[in-house]
Chains A and B, each alone.
Chain A
Amino acid sequence: MEHIVIIGNGISGVTAARHIRKLSDKKITIVSAETDYFFSRTALMYVYMGHMKFEHTQPYENWFWKKNRIELKKGYVTAIDSNNKSLNFAEGDTLSYDKLIIATGSKPNKFGWPGQDLNGVMGMYHKQDLDNLEKYAPNKNVCKRAVIVGGGLIGIELAEMLHSRHIPVTFLVRENSFWNGVLPEGESAMINREILRSNIDLRLGVNLKEIKGNTNGKVTSITIAETGEEIQCDVVGLTAGVSPNVDFIKESDIEIGRGVKVNRFLETNVQDIYAIGDCAEQHEAIGSRRPIEAVWYTGRMMGETVAQTICGNRIEYKPGHWFNSAKFIDIEYQTYGWVWAQQKENESRFYWEHEDGTKCIHINYDKNSRTFIGINTFGIRMRHQFFDKVLTEKQSVEHVLEHLADANFDPEFYKLYEREIVSKFNQENGTNIQLKKKSWKRIFA
């Protein structure tokens, strides 16, 4: 029986294993050094905040793996011997495979800052980071202040986490406005305000110079490069992005760039070795996507796809229209299609913001053809299916606005803003779009 070995028990590896099991009787082994069982990395923050216990982050009960004949091996892979089709473990043992899926995910970036390996300096990615945070920042007495370096999604989550335990947070962001490499100005400013509203000490346009520690090797302060200001702290969160976790592959025959290089079939240059999820790097970017996408659902989709290939139905990885979501403290964010931080030559934009400053939508469309390109929505939930269809059918911005009621996904009885939004669009563009009433028929068509 063919033996499929998967390195990594994150969403990509586990999805691949599940689908291979659905499609075949192959022997499946998942290898991980991090945890015994699959858990949802995105939910670690809720464990620290006390919304959940760690066990709640595990989507499958512990019997699930045995029942589905998915073997779990705890171990740290140090090398892949592709000639002998075998893995070497730090524990000294080996494991042979017929087909190998590399799904090792990411690791937090460190940019060689002085003091970056001191105790109390951590990322927020692994289960071990959570344990570390619990150790160094259990409450505001042990951790009198925390400094977070890097203004991305994980950074703001870590800030929210610490804030939930009333620990004062200083948040160093290199950019002049939060996440403005991804978010346009209006949205970015809204999140700046949201951060400040939570009494988080947001510092924009600054870089970390160094981290200082005491004689016990524990962090005591950081210094800001631009101002030279020294900030006393007990914890430093390094959240300046992530990069593929592929160091252990460097000595093998597998081609790597920043991540493991794969073609559209998620195959590496070595026969029978595949890579999926955060650690995979496409030779050429797919559409407007990045060659490496560290996103939950792309990992899942690659897992779904590679399972087909491994089970004899070789298919291309074809991510559909871009979408994503996040939550910035109390503001939910969803995006469908593309709304770049900077408007492109052929694009036109429509931005509406609610007067309370916590809800907005930003629509991007082609100024000549008026084709809808994408939408950012903050504080208003929208229907994925609606926008997926609109993008596939290349509908116009007018069509989207006309049917905005169909797109709404907020809970029942929520106040609706469609009328306000459409009238603002009409005003700005001299159009006469009439909002159509919500239609179940269209929604479920």
Chain B
Amino acid sequence: MKAIKNIGLVFFLIGLAIFTGSLFTGSFSLSEQEVVAFVESKGYKSEIIKEKLTKAIVTDESLNIFQFSSRVREAYKASNDHYDALIARYDAEKNWDKKGAQFQYKIYGKSHTLSYEVAKIAGSGFVKDNAGLLWWLTFGLAIVGALLFILPNIVLLGKEGIKNNGIYHESSTNRGWIAWLVLVYLVTFYLVLYFMPDYAVNWTYILDPISKSLNGGEASQWFVYGFLYCVIMIVMAARMYIKYRHNKYQVIRTTSVLFFQIVFAFLIPEIMTSLNMPGYDFKNAFPLDYDFFFEWNLDSLRDSGAIGLFILVWGIVLTLIIVPVMVYFFGKRWYCSWVCGCGGLAETLGDPYRQHSSKKLVSWKLERWLIHSVLVFSLIMTLVTLYCYFTGTESFLGIKSQWIKDTYSFLIGAWFAGVIGTGFYPIFGNRVWCRFGCPLAAYLGLVQRFKSRFRITTNGGQCISCGNCSTYCEQGIDVRAYAQKGENIIRSSCVGCGICSAVCPRGVLKLENGPEAGRINPTEILLGNDVDLMALVNQNNAK
């Protein structure tokens, strides 16, 4: 069994190495005709970009993606610099007409994104030519390897039950060097994905055939991300199923997040795209779906006829009615640990790291400040965007619409949710984003805290303060602090994953939806201690 695990690990690492190594392969260049065709297809007005690009990438040299990217970005920069210089010159000459005429020649966009578009058509080499084989050598090998590593646990973990043995002895789960390596890999991955997609263009080649069969188009870096996301969740869900096979709540919950990720977040949008509809994730509620009210999305929905209108109405109803009503009946868990994609990754890939969330009081304070700030930020951004959209102005309340959207997308959308949210799993735990950053979680949390039937019931006086519940709470709730006082746990941040209840050795905790009366139960003296309570109450009142 151990040997199978080790073989699996080797397979996985080889797959991962080939996957990573594939980025460094292939050569990138275009012919003159291709450059012309590309520039025309993009509708660039710049008169020199064609020449610059031709000089940069029409070559017999074998450029790798990094050299290629650098040349392409140079070309775009040279073109823009050229017109900037003209703008500066006409500005100095106070020739406003000519100055104004130059702006149309500038090419806007992030340099790596522009470069990605060229690279996508410029690549050639083994990876692109052998996408199927490469899929097996990367995804295939890593999936098989990971499963070989995970499946023997059915036997190795022993009988059904909580098996957290050795978690704090292993480098990977105790913030050792393996954990740090994983962090570096994940962070790098997200930096590439969000900020340097051109570097990852080889990955898109591997998935082109699958993308074409699903939506008719070639794979983008977002397709790669979505596909990878699903694959990782499926494989790590297998791990969850084995680890918690005695716990039906965990099994059903894992199935639920898996279903919503694969069907709602991945397949349905892909199929919609293939039908020329806007690809929409029907479970992704605003304000987590922060660009729902961005101009481009509203325009795209407006131009998509009936389905567009339906999506618009659904998105609003989802946030304003479905989400709070469901939270009232079931707590925010229905979303955060049963439906949500971020939650889904956290509960599968992130499960081995759940113990790293900080339980300190200062973290709780930070959490409340941060998450509510992000909520306010997202609402202000949306307000500004919508105002500007409907009035046609560029700013509102002195805030520029484009600026606030860019800032939010960069700080919250990319850095907080992605790079930190997932990249830091191995060190800060699997719910950093959900706990400190997600504006939707903040909204759900407010409903859960003040108007909900959900609570974690504490079973009278049975708690022995062992601390398993707090240790394994991914949201950093000091569950024990409540349990040992006989108090129910009512916290806005609780995502209802149910692990506190699972790891409790004394059967103290139970997630329940019940009547609101008595949901919050501050207790002076715990159940089981039959002091004369009336005397105690009178005594307290007398003071």
Interface residues of A (CB under 8 A from B): 11, 40, 42-43, 46-47, 49-53, 56-59, 61, 164, 197-198, 296-297, 300-301, 304-305, 308, 313, 315-316, 318-321, 323, 325-327, 329-330, 332, 334, 381-385, 388, 409-415, 440-441, 443-444
Contact = CB atoms under 8 A, between A and B. Distances in A.
21 contacts: A43-B465, A46-B466, A46-B468, A49-B166, A51-B468, A51-B471, A61-B360, A197-B159, A198-B159, A296-B465, A301-B526, A323-B462, A325-B462, A325-B464, A327-B506, A334-B506, A381-B510, A384-B459, A384-B528, A412-B498, A414-B249
Nearest to B249: A411
A64 to B, nearest CB: 9
Contacts of A440: 514-515
Contacts of A410: 510
Contact of B466 (A42, A305, A444): A42
Contacts of B527: 320, 384-385, 388
- Residue of B249, B517, B528, B532 with highest tally of chain A CB at under 10 A: B528
B532 A57 contact: no
A325 B481 contact: no
A444 B488 CA distance: 13
Given A49-B164, A51-B164, A11 B528 contact: no
Q: Which 6 A-B pairs have the closest CB atoms?
A: A384-B460, A330-B161, A381-B507, A43-B466, A320-B530, A301-B529
B169 interface: yes
B507 A11 contact: no
B460 A412 contact: no
Given A57-B466, A198-B158, A443 B514 contact: yes
A385 B531 CA distance: 16
Nearest to B159: A330
B529 A49 contact: no
A56 B471 contact: yes
A197 B161 CA distance: 13
Given A52-B467, A315-B535, A384-B528, 16 more contacts: A40-B464, A49-B166, A51-B164, A53-B168, A57-B467, A301-B461, A308-B539, A316-B531, A320-B529, A320-B530, A325-B506, A327-B506, A332-B505, A381-B459, A384-B461, A388-B528
B505 A40 contact: no
A413 B532 contact: no
- Residue of B158, B252, B464 with highest tally of chain A CB at under 10 A: B464
B445 to A, nearest CB: 21
Contacts of B460: 323, 383-385, 388
A382 B462 CA distance: 11
Given A409-B459, A444-B515, A320 B249 contact: no
Contact of B510 (A51, A58, A315, A409): A409
A335 to B, nearest CB: 10
A47 B164 CA distance: 11
Nearest to B480: A59
A444 B517 contact: yes
Nearest to A386: B460
B518 A11 contact: no
Given A315-B531, A320-B528, A388-B528, A415 B466 contact: no
Contacts of A43: 464-468
Given A50-B167, A50-B169, A59-B465, A415 B248 contact: yes
B462 A51 contact: no
Contacts of A415: 248
B525 interface: yes
B459 to A, nearest CB: 5
B470 interface: yes
A413 B252 contact: yes
B506 A52 contact: no
Contacts of A414: 248-249
Interface string B443-481: 000000000000001011110111110110000000011
A56 B498 contact: no
Contacts of B506: 325-327, 332, 334
- Residue of B247, B361, B468 with highest tally of chain A CB at under 10 A: B468
Contacts of A413: 248-249, 252
B41 interface: no
Contacts of B514: 440, 443-444
A51 B507 contact: no
Nearest to A22: B524
B53 interface: no
Nearest to A14: B465
Contacts of A305: 529, 531
A348 B532 CA distance: 32
B17 interface: no
A384 B462 contact: yes
Interface string B395-431: 0000000000000000000000000000000000000
B502 A411 contact: yes
Interface in B244-259: 247-249, 252
B481 A59 contact: yes
Nearest to B459: A384
A313 B533 CA distance: 12
A61 B361 contact: yes
A229 B251 CA distance: 47
Contacts of B461: 297, 300-301, 323, 384
Contacts of A313: 535-536, 539
A161 to B, nearest CB: 10
A321 B528 CA distance: 6
Contact of A315 (B168, B465, B532): B532
B501 interface: yes
Contacts of A323: 460-462, 528
- Residue of B160, B249, B361, B506 with highest tally of chain A CB at under 10 A: B506
Contacts of B536: 308, 313, 315
Contacts of A315: 531-532, 535-536
A414 to B, nearest CB: 6
Contacts of A57: 466-467
A326 B462 CA distance: 10
A198 B505 CA distance: 18
A42 B464 contact: yes
B162 to A, nearest CB: 8
A52 B503 CA distance: 12
B385 interface: no
Nearest to B170: A50
Given A46-B466, A315-B535, A412-B511, A330 B165 contact: no
Nearest to A408: B510
A351 to B, nearest CB: 20
A413 B501 CA distance: 13
B484 interface: yes
Contacts of B170: 50
Nearest to A43: B466
A267 to B, nearest CB: 16
A49 to B, nearest CB: 5
Contact of A296 (B464, B502, B512): B464
A304 B161 CA distance: 34
Interface string B133-169: 0000000000000000000000000111110111111
Contacts of B160: 330
Contacts of A443: 514
B166 to A, nearest CB: 4
Contacts of A409: 457, 459, 507, 510
A294 to B, nearest CB: 13
A266 to B, nearest CB: 12
B247 A51 contact: no
